[in-house]
Chains A and B, each alone.
Chain A
Amino acid sequence: MSARFPVHEIPGTPIFDGAAARKGYALNRMCFSFNDKANRDAFVADEAAYCERFGLTPEQRQAVEHRNVLEMIAAGGNVYYLAKLAGILGLNVQDLGAQQTGMSVEDFKQKLVEAGQ
């Protein structure tokens, strides 16, 4: 951090900067592996062992156990990679949005529709 690069906070908006990238590396690396079906299957077959293999931190491990997106982001997860984990868990981006905003999925979808009116 320096005067040249002041922090620009945007409420409710995670910024995936260097600090987040360092913190989240193991979690994001695991999620990147889910581009391969064999790896998705291995995660489903033995989640704990798969997380262990990628060296997830206790905070990341817990966030994954909780299926909690905000916790995963706090642990350094990046949404582009987390989306691949969400796919395994059967969650689409409306489910993710509803979970993070504390809304029902129906209410979240309605909010999107209203943004167009």
Chain B
Amino acid sequence: MARIVGGIGVSHVPAIGGAIARGLQQEPYWKPFFDGFERAHRWLAEMQPDVVVAIYNDHGLNFFLDKLPTFAVGAAAEYFNADEGWGLPVQRPYAGDPELSWHLIESLVADEFDVTMCQEMVVDHGLVNPMQLLWPGKTRPVRVVPVTINTVQHPLPSPARCFKLGQAIGRAIEEYEEDVRVLVLGTGGLSHQLDGTRAGFINKPFDLMSMDKLATDPKALTKITSLELIEMAGSQGVELLNWIAMRGALGARVTEVHRSYHIPISNTAAGLLVLETAPAVLHANAA
């Protein structure tokens, strides 16, 4: 049977891709940020996930406003990165896991999440930067199943809905009969705002509270609307929805393995949160 080994919330700021391409990890601006990943690398080496279910938001690479799904699941054998328009080097493709994708789709639709199914999906920095951060260098030891949440076109799904999506993803994975170890990623955030006269807005107390709640009491984050989330985290800080969905997939109890938080990376408060799921027996007791 499949097992969720844990979840990681991680920022996906475009500039990270540029810094990796230019080898700036040890520069004073970048070092505090990249150093935060050392513990995550050790944890991943222990956990040995086979597949990553990566929950993120597309930024106008795969989806345009002509057809914009609230929730979409990739079902491709391979996912291509592509030119996003501002000079990030295009990464080579990521291997998919179509068997798990279709199981996820079947299970989510049965659970009344009527997702858009994508046999082709170009993946942008929302997926690619976290993958490069978590598995630096050329090795690609995991397969990927991308899941996107709309954070572009209002109305956006609510935090409560995204948490339930995550719970449904968690149920689907637990019922999957293949013997695979699954890591769930939620990317983006934390607080930031690119547009309007409030551009540059960052809310450190809210971010720290959010990371606390994700670890110990995630339902607390589901009591607000998406617009209230934007008010507190900034227009693009609403990407916390991806983290909330990730957390929903992990079940009742998690152990916080690591967190780091650094301001600023580009215009963003950059966060990393590594959560390990409770062993199966504890998990069952908690349910």
Contacts and interface: CB of A to CB of B under 8 A. Distances in A.
Interface of A: 8, 10-18, 21, 25, 28-29, 31-32, 34-37, 40, 69-70, 73, 78-84, 86-88, 92-94, 96-97, 100-101, 108, 111-113, 115-116
A10 B231 contact: yes
Contacts of B153: 16, 21, 78
Contact of A8 (B64, B65, B227): B227
A18 to B, nearest CB: 7
Given A13-B231, A94-B266, A21 B194 contact: no
Contacts, number: 130
Contact of A115 (B202, B225, B230): B202
A97 B230 contact: no
Interface residues of B, number: 41
Contacts of B266: 92-94
Q: SS class of chain B's interface: helix, strand, loop or mixed?
A: loop
Contacts of A111: 200
B106 interface: no
A14 B96 CA distance: 36
Given A18-B154, A37-B83, A40-B85, A96 B65 contact: no
Given A10-B231, A16-B153, A112 B263 contact: yes
Given A13-B231, A84-B84, A108 B200 contact: yes
Contact of B85 (A12, A17, A25, A84): A84
B60 A13 contact: no
Given A18-B154, A78-B152, A101-B200, A94 B85 contact: no
Contact of A84 (B86, B196, B228): B86
B227 A10 contact: yes
A32 B197 contact: no
Given A18-B154, A100-B199, A116-B263, A83 B194 contact: yes
B263 A113 contact: yes
B169 to A, nearest CB: 24
B112 to A, nearest CB: 21
